[in-house]
Amino acid sequence: GNSVTQMEGPVTLSEEAFLTINCTYTATGYPSLFWYVQYPGEGLQLLLKATKADDKGSNKGFEATYRKETTSFHLEKGSVQVSDSAVYFCALNRLIGGSQGNLIFGKGTKLSVKP
């Protein structure tokens, strides 16, 4: 079956600290992998994605690399800002006969960045 396991929070960091949020997955086939972010009071937004092994997704200083050998897609940022405070969700898309299906999400990691 398909599942996503991500680091449970909450995570509290000081501004300019290094961030890693771990995400591992099990999947049938080779799905695309995603990080979505939910800022306080807002909806889910795509942060970055990777569609095949060894691809690196990046956006807003965040990066994640699709690692097939370790079935991981860890999110990293070198220097977090207060504005990065949000809930982060790792996800994969369930493949149905090779076609795109629904997303399967991890439970989310709440990040708080203190000034």
Partner 1 sequence: GAGVSQSPSNKVTEKGKDVELRCDPISGHTALYWYRQSLGQGLEFLIYFQGNSAPDKSGLPSDRFSAERTGGSVSTLTIQRTQQEDSAVYLCASRAYTDTQYFGPGTRLTVL
Bridge pairing between strands 109-114 and 11-14: parallel
Spatial contact of 37 and 45, defined as CB atoms under 8 Å apart: yes
CA–CA dist 56, 45 (Å, integer): 18
> Would you say 28 or 81 has its CB closer to partner 1?
28
Residue 93 within binding range of partner 1, rule CB under 8 A = yes
Q: Verify binding: residue 62, partner 1, rule CB under 8 A.
A: no
Tell me: does residue 107 bind partner 1 (CB under 8 A).
yes
Q: Which residues bind partner 1 (CB under 8 A)?
A: 32, 34, 36, 42-46, 49, 51, 89, 93-94, 96, 99-108
